[in-house]
Structure 1
Amino acid sequence: MAQYDVIIIGSGPGGYVCAIRCGQLGLKTAVVEGRETLGGTCLNVGCIPSKALLHATHQLHEAEHNFAKMGLKGKTPSVDWKQMLAYKEDVIGQNTKGIEFLFKKNKVDWLKGWGSIPEAGKVKVGDEVHEAKHIIIASGSEVAPVPGADIKIDEKVVVSSTGALELDKIPSSMVVVGGGVIGLELGSVYARLGVEVTVIEFLDGITPGQDAEVAKNFQKILAKQGLKFITGAAVQKVTVKNGKADISYKLRKDDSAHDLKADVVLVATGRKPFTEGLGLDTLGIGMTDRGQISVDDHYRTTVKGIYAIGDVIEGPMLAHKAEDEGMALAEILAGQAGHVNYDVIPGVIYTHPEVANVGLTEEMLKQEGRAYKVGKFSFMGNGRAKANFAADGFVKILADKETDRILGCHVIGPMAGDLIHEVCVAMEFGAAAEDLARTCHAHPTYSEAMREAALACGDGAIHA
């Protein structure tokens, strides 16, 4: 029986980051993982492979639409789907092997197999039982079913995000059930490959929870790129016959029934905590009404010595949120003051243009009744964006009307996922919009749009 200071169940972003930080802080650490490779959903069948395909298909889009405008003339590239999938697999391999290297470097043991917790202080992996002072559940999430709908995922015709990343061939048509991040990213991949993509969303607009102005503009831009949208619609049933799918849905406004056919249906209606087989019921670990593990502000469950982080607890199901929790918990267990600022966790959609946000939306501020001001700047006024055929979108900064303190930022445009961190840092330090506006930004860069939006919170942007 091996004894550890910390055993972490799950090697996704939350688990592996927590393990490495524990190792750095001198804690004897092991990670339980049943996959053949480390990295969890994110590195294997989520964040990383989807970004590889987004990158590849964006290059195709540039070749088809913008190369000739820049004087780059020649035959448009053809798509070798098998090679594109091989490129994606190579990217996955590089990243997962990198985690193995980091485990060895930081003296973290990999306990290969699926874990359960027979009692506090013990983790069972296969036939072996290991002891630990602290057990951390970081088992991530899995695809959530569509509420009230008859849909069976077979990962061939009706697929989850996992199946969508490894289709045998490029289909002619695809229906995406759900207008959130996963559905729009993968829908964009296939639309660029020439697939007829239709997104069916239950609510009246895409990207629920996003700033309403950004969401509206985002949908318009994606529609120009060829994606079709059916909003305010509830999918009732998906039937597979002769390798094709029949999708039945109802419009919420009049309860009228409609049908649609497609080669592939991607179910992208969200995810739910994955805790199967851990033995939580037997242990008596408290759960929320939504099936999440209940924890306090130090990530302690209701059972002493057992903790939880990432997708299995409340909060946005984001890899970087899990990473921050993993680092904070490692520091807490080492006697330090680990902390996560949940008010400054950015969100990103990696389409083109990208969409990024942090902090409060206008809708939230109106609901609070808080006085605020808006600084907006369009990428049409940004020289770099115009030169790069990337002038769609804008930056919106929200600041307190009295103090000028930045309350939120919403970006749709080029490199939005990178630009947003300028505001994240500013918000961590309690900066005012004027602080951002008075910071020199290199020219010509996309980041100048952030400064211009900050200037617009005051006397006005220069290039608007």
Structure 2
Amino acid sequence: MNSYDVAVIGSGPGGYVAAIRCAQLGMKTAIIEKYATLGGTCLNVGCIPSKALLDSSHHYEDAIKHFEEHGIEIPGEVKVNLEKMIARKQSVVDQTTGGIDYLMKKNNIDVYQGLGSFKDATHITISGEETTEIEAKNTIIATGSKPASLPFIELDKERVITSTEALKLKEIPKHLIVIGGGVIGLELGQVYKRLGAEVSVVEYADRIVPTMDAGVSKELNKVLKKQKFKINASHKVKSVERVGDEVIVKADNKKGEEVEFKGDYCLVSVGRRPYTDGLNAEAAGVKIDERGRVEVNDHLQTSASNIYAIGDVVKGAMLAHKAEEEGVFVAETLAGQKPHIDYNLIPGVVYTWPEVAAVGKTEEQLKEAGIAYKTGQFPMRALGRSRASMDIDGFVKVLADKTTDEILGVHMVGARAADMIAEAVVAMEYRASAEDVSRMSHAHPTFTEAIKEAALAATDDRALHV
């Protein structure tokens, strides 16, 4: 039987990063993955493939809507080859997952393919082509999450689908009904909207991306409506029925009236659930809470002292980069170091176009906590760079402490917001004030000038370009 200092169950961003960091720190490490490829949901059926399709569909939309204005004329009709688009997406996935294989070899990490389940706190049974057992002094659970559904919905994975099936459709839907106005639903909805589908979003909350700042939600709603999305907030879905090639969704609106939606595909994107199926956690003394999450303390340690859990399977935002930070945190904790994670500074991103990004507190959270704050906001349309690229939708908003001027939250909608948010994270990590950022030189013309201008607006309302 092979023995290890650390075994990692699950090879998503949290798991493979944890394994690499453990190996870097001199621990003999194994990683266990039940699927044929490493990388978990993110690399195989999540972040990476969805961004590939978002980029491809964005190029198509630019070609049919914006090239002419740029002085680019394309003779003949611009057509979508969905099969080729999906194939390119898959090649991106294959390259990325292959990169994880390389990293495992480079770091001398043993890879086991099969379902990992606890025999006890120090022994793991791996059921693959053959059944193997390994011994691990410490184990990191990184089994991630699966798409959630509603109890009355039957997912046939043909017409009533999850994000996994939406990444490999054989045809462009005529009318895609999206249940859930969160990140996944809006991103995949935009992919197919660009390709010609009619898209109707049905959201239970009173606004889309309901966990984000209300101002951001309002702006994104306005932009998506301009793109001809049909957004139905405050709608409680009560039935989803497939009849032949048609899907009928019935929901009650905020007045309690029944509304019916008919489409040829229905994407169920009501969030994700922690995945511990087959883990046999109880055999190791690991407790699972009522929501299916592995219970952990502030050190990400489970009820079994030598077993840790990270990523989507524990409390907190289900984000790949949060899982990575936790993976490094556990590895360094096992090595006797004193790492830290500031969960307030884990950024959130929606990869629609314009993109949405945020870090820190929302206005609603600051009000609820009774914290006196000031706001500085700057519209993207006032930037030369935005006008040059025709990306004028959105804004940057900086929230700062009214007394100390420390930045408490940054929220943005706009081109390249996903990349720009890193500046805000750095500033807040070092507890910068709005004035600190306002005094930094930002290259001109760039999108990040909007952050400087919003910081100026929060500092005695002195933005320069509005």
TM-score, L = length of structure 2: 0.98
**Contact 2:276–2:292, Cα closer than 8 Å, also in 1:** no
Aligned-pair CA distance for 1:358: 0.2
Aligned-pair CA distance for 1:237: 1.1
Residue number among 233, 242, 245 corresponding to 2:244 in the alignment: 242
Paired residue type of 2:343: Y
Matched, 1:44 2:44: yes
Please give the per-residue CA displacement for 1:131-160, whole angstroms capped at 9, x wherever unaligned: 0110110000011122xx521111110000
Partner of 2:105: 104
Distance 1:221 1:181 in 2: 15
Segments of 5+ residues of structure 1 without an aligned counterpart are none
Aligned-pair CA distance for 1:128: 1.3
Residue number among 206, 214, 236 corresponding to 1:204 in the alignment: 206
Q: For 1:243-322, what aligned pairs fall within 5 Å after superposition?
A: 243-251=245-253, 253-322=254-323
SS at 2:231's partner residue? strand
Distance 1:166 1:73 in 2: 31
Partner of 1:73: 73
Distance 2:401 2:233 in 1: 33
Partner of 2:132: 128
Distance 1:216 1:99 in 2: 39
Paired residue type of 1:356: A
Q: For 1:34-183, what aligned pairs fall within 5 Å after superposition?
A: 34-75=34-75, 76-126=77-127, 127-146=131-150, 150-183=152-185
Distance 1:432 1:124 in 2: 52
Paired residue type of 2:146: E
Paired residue type of 1:200: V
Distance 2:226 2:329 in 1: 43
Distance 2:230 2:125 in 1: 49
Partner of 2:3: 3
Partner of 2:349: 348
Please give the per-residue CA displacement for 1:65-98, whole angstroms capped at 9, x wherever unaligned: 1111111112352100100000000000000000
Paired residue type of 1:163: E
Please give the per-residue CA displacement for 1:417-454, whole angstroms capped at 9, x wherever unaligned: 10011010010011111111111111111111111111
Please give the per-residue CA displacement for 1:179-222, whole angstroms capped at 9, x wherever unaligned: 00000000000000010000000011100111101101101100
**Contact 1:245–1:264, Cα closer than 8 Å, also in 2:** yes
Q: Which moved more, 1:187-196 or 1:327-336?
A: 327-336
Please give the per-residue CA displacement for 1:83-140, whole angstroms capped at 9, x wherever unaligned: 0000000000000000000111111111111100110111110221100110110000
SS at 1:185's partner residue? helix
SS at 1:455's partner residue? helix
Paired residue type of 2:7: I
SS at 2:192's partner residue? helix
Distance 2:24 2:50 in 1: 30
Partner of 2:20: 20
SS at 1:409's partner residue? strand
SS at 1:463's partner residue? coil
Distance 2:78 2:39 in 1: 33
Distance 2:113 2:216 in 1: 44
**Contact 1:120–1:304, Cα closer than 8 Å, also in 2:** no
Distance 1:454 1:320 in 2: 26
Distance 1:440 1:179 in 2: 37
Partner of 1:458: 459
Distance 1:292 1:446 in 2: 39
Aligned-pair CA distance for 1:336: 1.1
Please give the per-residue CA displacement for 1:255-302, whole angstroms capped at 9, x wherever unaligned: 211222110000000001000111123333223332211111111100
Paired residue type of 1:179: G
Distance 2:283 2:117 in 1: 11
Paired residue type of 1:166: K
SS at 2:381's partner residue? helix
TM-score, L = length of structure 1: 0.98
Segments of 5+ residues of structure 2 without an aligned counterpart are none
**Contact 1:118–1:283, Cα closer than 8 Å, also in 2:** yes
Aligned-pair CA distance for 1:29: 0.5
Matched, 1:360 2:364: no
Distance 1:363 1:228 in 2: 26
Distance 2:225 2:421 in 1: 24
Partner of 1:191: 193
Partner of 1:219: 221
**Contact 1:330–1:338, Cα closer than 8 Å, also in 2:** no
Please give the per-residue CA displacement for 1:27-76, whole angstroms capped at 9, x wherever unaligned: 11010001111000000000000000000011111111111111111235
**Contact 1:237–1:247, Cα closer than 8 Å, also in 2:** yes
Q: For 1:328-407, what aligned pairs fall within 5 Å after superposition?
A: 328-407=329-408
Distance 2:225 2:94 in 1: 34
SS at 2:344's partner residue? coil
Aligned-pair CA distance for 1:8: 0.3
Paired residue type of 2:4: Y
Aligned-pair CA distance for 1:168: 1.4
Partner of 2:423: 422
Matched, 1:436 2:437: yes
SS at 2:400's partner residue? strand
Paired residue type of 1:387: A
Distance 1:409 1:274 in 2: 32
SS at 1:343's partner residue? helix
Distance 2:44 2:465 in 1: 43
Q: CA RMSD in A?
A: 0.9
Distance 1:289 1:431 in 2: 39
Distance 2:134 2:258 in 1: 55
Distance 2:338 2:377 in 1: 37
Paired residue type of 2:148: A
SS at 2:465's partner residue? coil
